[in-house]
Amino acid sequence: MADPSTTPPLTRASVLAAHSLIKPYIHETPVLTNTTLDQLASTPRTPEELQGTEWEATERPANPKIRFWFKCENFQRIGAFKARGAFHAVERLKQTEGLEGLRKGGVVTHSSGNHAQALSLAARENGIPAHIVMPTISPPPKIAATKDYGANITFSGSTSTEREAVTREVIEQTGARLVPPYDHPDIILGQGTAALELQRQVAASLSTSGTTNRRLNAIISPCGGGGLLSGTALACSDLSPSDPSTPGPILVFGAEPSFSGADDGRRGYYSGTRIESVKSLTIADGLRTPLGAYPWSIIYERKLVAGMYSVGEEEIKKALRLVYERMKVVVEPSAVVGLAVALFNEEFRSMVEREGGEEGWDLGVVFSGGNVELAALGRLFGEE
């Protein structure tokens, strides 16, 4: 991989530069709104709905006012935000290593699917061999898509330790340059470009509608390895008051599944110690990885993320169903964890009520991807 010491500083300015670099290769994905989901989020949950949850003894359910802005990275190339980081990493390697050198050994990564597809696509468009290490439990559609992009696939176990061990073997055999799925500055800067677009798109929409007394107050992003969340935090840092697309500070929050310890980022954030190993089979399969060291430095050490929240599997399923039925868009379970937090996590909802007051918040929600196996969806909802 590119030497981290040669990468640009981890700042909003560097995210802006990354966006200029990858703009020819990515889609500016749409931002959608949905009145029904706004109304659901802005209605207190009933005692019956809270029964059986950790908030069942709550005397007064939260009553926030939330207006959602959904950044639809499910419409990004390869169906996920990962295209942004992969193209940026490859473009940076081309600058430092030269294209011909990369074509000799290729690039390599380990990924359960979305980053695998993203790097395979970026490599194919540059005539670079791609070597991908994928866990055997990766969703079949993601494996098939990665093969379709021309990648050479090697399978591994599901934990990060097992993935990394096989990746080292591939590097020894091929001389390929590592492009990590999340724990590298170039990846983080690329992922942050989604939040840049979201800021500008929301500001433009509000301006067009003549709404001058509102702005984007916060963004909530799913967190697995932390590349998207930390990139989003960088994109919302050091905001200039003179920039019309960012008329005020934008808070950033992380969202994780709580199932079987998948909320390592949240637990580490509040304990002050990064958790380096996770083994979870949450339905949000893109969020099964531990928080990386570089994302941790941004999220926790620099305090650029205002809070971390988690939700259970049932809440994720409910949010997924709502998006399918009310918005009519295809997303994967990992993509709706932020929405699930806003709808069902009383701690988050109480915070929004307290901070937003009567006016409420305009809340950006990053739909991280839409690569979902239809048969898996059938099994997921067939269990209900």
82 among known catalytic residues = yes
Give the bridge partners for 363, in sequence order. 68, 218
Strand 177-178 and strand 152-156: pairing? unpaired
Listed residue (18, 363, 2, 32) closest to 191, CA to CA: 18
Give Cα separations from 84 to 146, 167, 181, 233, 373 (angstroms).
16, 22, 11, 16, 22
112 among known catalytic residues = yes
**C-alpha dihedral (67, 300, 243, 14), degrees to nearest 10:** -130
Contact 173, 151 (CB under 8 A): no
Q: How far apart are the first and last CA of the chain?
A: 45
Contact 254, 29 (CB under 8 A): no
Residue 34 to residue 68: CA distance in whole angstroms: 7
Cite the beta strand spans of 15-167 per DSSP E: 31-32, 66-72, 107-110, 130-135, 152-156
Listed residue (45, 31, 7, 18) closest to 353, CA to CA: 45
Q: Which of 14, 111, 112, 221 is catalytic?
A: 112
Structure tokens at 293: 């060291």
Dihedral sign for Cα atoms in the order 38, 42, 46, 51: positive
Structure tokens at 328: 């009519």
Q: In what order do the strands lie in the sheet with 361-367?
A: 31-32, 66-72, 361-367, 218-222, 251-257, 307-311
Q: Which of 82, 142, 317, 318 is catalytic?
A: 82
The residues carrying an active-site annotation are 82, 112
